Amino acid sequence: MAPASLRFTDATFGPAGSMPSTICSSIFLLAMFSSVCGELLGDSETDRVQDLMSRYPLIDGHNDLALQLRRHYHNLLSRVDLQHLPSVATDIARLRAGRVQTEVFAAYVLCGAQEKDAVRLTLEQLDVIRRMCTEYTDMELVTTAEGLRGAESRGKIACVLSIEGGHSLDSSLPTLRMFYLLGVRSMALTHNCNTPWAGSSSDLYNFYRRENNTLTLFGQAVVQEMNRLGMIVDLSHSSWETARAAISVSKAPVVFSHSSAYAICNHSRNVPDWLLHELKKNRGLIMVTLFSDFVACEGQANVSAVADHFDHIRNTIGAEFIGIGGDYEGVLRFPLGLEDVSKYPVLIKELLRRKWPEQEVAGVLRQNFLRVFDEVEKVRDELSLSPPGEAQIAPEEVEHPCRLVLRPPRSQAPSSAPSSGPPRLLSVALLLPASLLALH
């Protein structure tokens, strides 16, 4: 039985069991106090997030805005206002609201362009990214880690150019070098299709199917040339075999620009624990992605489910190997509460609520990516005396109707008989001057 001082009796309650005014007042004040404390606590948590993100604004490892500009506006920038673009999840106003200081913008073309016009389409996507990042004063195109830091000091949203899928190279190291000269500083080895030299995590396309779904010798040369140039090797979308091979070949840290933890959601696009350990040895980075299908294999994805991926990777290899790669504009479904780029503070608030130290969160926000970028450039400098790679893929590995091979013209006996069939295509060698043919 409760002590007498805490017992309610008939005298405590008035007629018909009603409470006297003193007790009602006390309960009302207690409720008000709890409400005010809750609001103050909420404000305090929000202020803490804003303070942290103002000191360490986010570097987002992957964004496909250029894809949506092509899809909705045919890359006609004159027809859009990137300050406010409600048809997509990314615009300047929401990047500012989300404390995003750097976007790694992807030049992505569909796998269906492989063996066709992938190189041209990639150039067009790079063009629209370069234009938006130079025509809008809020943005600044950067090509170095130091340039990224400088843009932050000037209050600019830094743009880093990336290519999403090695099919954009058409298996050519010179093409890779030309992309670098245009400002590209990161490239994913594959997208949802194999290339002639690297394997994809997806089986959506039938390009270059083979039993050994890893890097070929030419694929290794691609990684080595990226190291020499100072271009970040991105392994999101690569098969696990390709990723392991690339890590073993690369002298510089690599990244998974938009992948999550396979142990939490067992999708082939996510990274298993054994591969996370290989990534740690490489001093690379996994940038946790927000696509709902990679976050929660079952049930509704939400902020807590995303944070579970961060917790798992942190517990497996440590927080210094984690970043964020939202993949906004590249997919359609995002977790509840993370619908666009303005919502990143919600995720950071959840990590802090889970007792992540602020210094580790600062690493996730930007410091870890900067460390990788710095180390990629250090390897570039160490390889500065190395000549450009001259590896060429074997014609039989990549032969397709749209790829011409220069060969000397074959002499043919003159014929006076008229041809009854369709006109034959001239060898490309016949169209070149003899002085050039002599070089081949």
277 is catalytic: no
Length of the chain: 440
Alpha-helical regions (H) of 136-166 = 145-153
258 is catalytic: yes
382 is catalytic: no
Picking from 287, 200, 284, the residue whose alpha carbon sits closest to that of residue 250 is 284
Sign of CA pseudo-dihedral 150, 153, 154, 160: positive
312 is catalytic: no
64 is catalytic: yes
Picking from 319, 252, 333, the residue whose alpha carbon sits closest to that of residue 286 is 319
Give CA angle at 357 (354, 359), nearest 5°. Answer: 140
- Annotated catalytic residue, options 91, 152, 191, 350: 191
- Annotated catalytic residue, options 62, 167, 309, 312: 62
- Annotated catalytic residue, options 327, 340, 350, 375: 327
- Annotated catalytic residue, options 91, 140, 164, 340: 164
Residue 309: CB partners within 8 Å, gap ≥ 6?
Answer: 260, 261, 264, 265, 288, 295
DSSP string, 173-216: HHHHHHHHHTTEEEEES-SSS-BTTB-BS--SS-TT--SS-S--
- Annotated catalytic residue, options 103, 152, 167, 258: 258
164 is catalytic: yes
- Residue 7: CB atoms within 10 A of its CB come to 9
- Annotated catalytic residue, options 64, 91, 340, 360: 64
Picking from 267, 360, 378, 251, the residue whose alpha carbon sits closest to that of residue 310 is 360
Point out the residues that are catalytic: 62, 64, 164, 191, 237, 258, 327
